[in-house]
């Protein structure tokens, strides 16, 4: 990638619609577009002020391609920091392609995925963690993940990291200064103040690292495996939770062979429900594979939900125990939520019996949609949303998480060095390493491979 040329891409989703936007960015953006645009008022684009809109035609010689609205942004007052033109054209795939091809013939290059945001980063319009938040923001599907991405995009996370990095850098400079005066045995860096800073950094890093567990859940949704014997109504419950007909529901035991994943938002938090095949003994090869997959999915889920048929439990109150024990023995640490379905088929005394027999049993009827809302509330209680409510910085990105882990490791080495009264030259090495990992997050220290990796996950046009 060279960053001297002018790039073009469709910035709106592909397909037909009322309007599409073609984005052009680079030093020559305005000079390339100007001769291809005939303003309704004979205005020369090159002489128009930044942040103005102009109606006219995109022309290829004498041939009019489309009537468009052109937005002008003069660098550095643009998304990329470069001269930028946004062409708002009619939303036809044909027109989009014709205009993009015209621009390419006239000196633009087709942009790669994320290249506009990459340029924004390279031109200092945002740091790396803010750039990453742009992609998160676009893919956010619920209130919580949106809120975290917005906070990160607006620099909440970066500011915290940058502040710590700056304080650490000040001490590093003082300690390194001591090295120049090594023979004189002076201490420019006050060791008590430094210990206070190290403790503070450790506390913040630990908080950020701990936030990743909830951050990851908020970003990706909390995975819940719904497990149970065939025909207990897993697909029906999934449908009731999703409020739509998503899974194939049938009376034949063993209908659901593939696992079905879907996400719903409860109280702004995403929950990924994984509907699995049951775990009864079977001779059917395909179903055996399904059972193996069920165990795999429970392993990946944060919560296992065992779904029982209330009628069956009444008939044989010990049968369900076998099921529970199977899961508990395999996954002793995993929270297990036991739910009895089909309570619409029971009378009041049977329900009382059920409640007496099994403590903490959640009763519901997926078919009648009774007890489903209460189940949603119970699921929500599994997530500690305190950090979210308090607007704390939450780490959601595994790249940041790894950098934070490494930074903490180095800071702990510095702590150890302080405890052992190590000399400044030795302390300085570990401090530099910690600074390096802080810099990785915000992009002050980076390399082309990392950048390539990050921006390849963006969509074209962003």
Residues that bind its own copies (CB under 8 A): 9-21, 23, 51-54, 64-67, 69, 71, 73, 86, 88, 90-95, 98, 116, 134, 137-143, 146, 150, 153-154, 459-462
Please give the Cα distance from 150 to 130 (Å, whole number).
9
Between residues 107 and 155, which has the closer beta carbon with respect to its own copies?
A: 155
Is the Cα torsion angle 10, 12, 18, 19 positive or negative in sign? negative
Please choose, from the candidates 355, 450, 438, 430, the residue with its C-alpha nearest in 3D space to the C-alpha of residue 161.
438
Between residues 95 and 403, which has the closer beta carbon with respect to its own copies?
A: 95
Distance of closest approach, residue 116 Cβ to its own copies, in angstroms: 7
Between residues 41 and 283, which has the closer beta carbon with respect to its own copies?
A: 41
Q: Which residues contact 125 (CB under 8 A, 6 or more apart)?
A: 76, 79, 80, 81
Q: Is 377 exposed, middle or buried (0-12, 13-18, 19+ CB in 10 A)?
A: exposed
Between residues 43 and 376, which has the closer beta carbon with respect to its own copies?
A: 43
Between residues 93 and 250, which has the closer beta carbon with respect to its own copies?
A: 93
Distance of closest approach, residue 393 Cβ to its own copies, in angstroms: 16
Between residues 77 and 420, which has the closer beta carbon with respect to its own copies?
A: 77
Please give the Cα distance from 389 to 391 (Å, whole number).
5
Q: Prior bond to 76 cis, omega within 30?
A: yes
Q: Which residues contact 300 (CB under 8 A, 6 or more apart)?
A: 223, 225, 274
Distance of closest approach, residue 72 Cβ to its own copies, in angstroms: 8
Q: Which two tokens stand for residue 156?
A: 């909440």
Distance of closest approach, residue 300 Cβ to its own copies, in angstroms: 25
Q: Is 173 exposed, middle or buried (0-12, 13-18, 19+ CB in 10 A)?
A: middle
Between residues 194 and 458, which has the closer beta carbon with respect to its own copies?
A: 458
End-to-end CA distance of the chain: give it in Å, rounded.
15
Please give the Cα distance from 220 to 141 (Å, whole number).
9
Distance of closest approach, residue 253 Cβ to its own copies, in angstroms: 34
Between residues 72 and 291, which has the closer beta carbon with respect to its own copies?
A: 72
252 C-beta neighbours (distance < 10 Å), count? 7
Is the Cα torsion angle 82, 83, 85, 86 positive or negative in sign? positive
Distance of closest approach, residue 144 Cβ to its own copies, in angstroms: 11
Q: Could you tell me where the DSSP H helices lie in 420-442?
A: 424-442
Distance of closest approach, residue 405 Cβ to its own copies, in angstroms: 29
Distance of closest approach, residue 137 Cβ to its own copies, in angstroms: 5
Between residues 68 and 337, which has the closer beta carbon with respect to its own copies?
A: 68
* Tokens 């179903």, located at residue: 287
Buried b (16+ CB within 10 A) or exposed e, 299-338: eebbbbbbbbbbbbbbeeeeebeebeeebeeebeeeebbb
Distance of closest approach, residue 322 Cβ to its own copies, in angstroms: 43
The C-alpha angle with vertex 223 and arms to 221 and 224, in degrees rounded to 5, equals 135
Between residues 63 and 200, which has the closer beta carbon with respect to its own copies?
A: 63
Please give the Cα distance from 113 to 461 (Å, whole number).
7
Buried b (16+ CB within 10 A) or exposed e, 90-105: bbeeebbebbbebbee
Distance of closest approach, residue 14 Cβ to its own copies, in angstroms: 7
């Amino acid at each position: 990638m060279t960053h001297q040329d002018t790039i073009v891409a469709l910035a709106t989703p592909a397909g037909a619609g009322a309007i599409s936007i073609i984005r052009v960015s680079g030093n020559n953006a305005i000079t390339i577009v100007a001769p291809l645009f005939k303003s309704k008022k004979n205005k020369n684009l090159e002489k128009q002020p930044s942040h103005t809109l102009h109606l006219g035609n995109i022309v290829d010689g004498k041939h009019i391609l489309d009537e468009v609205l052109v937005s002008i942004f003069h660098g550095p007052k643009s998304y990329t920091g470069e001269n930028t033109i946004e062409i708002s054209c009619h939303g036809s795939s044909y027109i989009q392609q014709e205009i993009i091809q015209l621009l390419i013939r006239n000196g633009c290059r087709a942009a790669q995925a994320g290249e506009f945001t990459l340029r924004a980063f390279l031109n200092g319009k945002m740091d790396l963690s803010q750039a990453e938040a742009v992609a998160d923001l676009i893919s956010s599907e619920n209130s919580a993940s949106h809120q975290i991405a917005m906070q990160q995009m607006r620099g909440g996370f970066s500011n915290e990291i940058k502040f710590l990095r700056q304080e650490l850098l000040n001490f590093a400079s003082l300690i390194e200064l001591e090295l120049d005066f090594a023979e004189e045995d002076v201490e420019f860096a006050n060791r008590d103040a430094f210990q206070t800073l190290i403790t503070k950094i450790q506390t913040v890093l630990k908080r950020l690292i701990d936030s990743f567990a909830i951050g990851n859940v908020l970003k990706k949704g909390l995975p819940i495996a719904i497990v149970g014997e065939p025909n207990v109504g897993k697909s029906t419950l999934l449908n009731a939770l999703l409020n739509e007909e998503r899974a194939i529901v049938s009376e034949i035991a063993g209908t659901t062979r593939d696992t079905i994943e879907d996400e719903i938002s409860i109280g702004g938090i995403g929950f990924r429900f994984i509907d699995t095949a049951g775990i009864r003994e079977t001779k059917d090869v395909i179903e055996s594979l399904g059972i193996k997959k069920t165990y795999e999915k429970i392993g990946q889920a944060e919560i296992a939900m065992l779904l029982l048929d209330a009628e069956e439990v009444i008939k044989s109150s010990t049968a369900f125990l076998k099921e529970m024990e199977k899961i508990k023995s395999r996954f002793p640490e995993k929270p297990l939520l036991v739910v009895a379905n089909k309570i619409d088929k029971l009378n009041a005394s049977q329900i009382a019996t059920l409640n007496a027999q099994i403590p903490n049993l959640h009763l519901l009827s997926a078919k009648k949609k009774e007890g489903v809302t209460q189940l949603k509330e119970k699921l929500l209680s599994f997530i500690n949303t305190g950090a979210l409510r308090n607007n704390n910085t939450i780490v959601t990105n595994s790249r940041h998480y790894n950098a934070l882990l490494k930074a903490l490791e180095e800071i702990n080495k510095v702590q150890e060095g302080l405890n052992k009264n190590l000399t400044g030259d030795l302390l300085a090495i570990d401090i530099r390493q910690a600074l390096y990992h802080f810099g990785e997050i915000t992009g002050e220290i980076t390399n082309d491979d990392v950048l390539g990796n990050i921006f390849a996950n963006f969509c074209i046009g962003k």
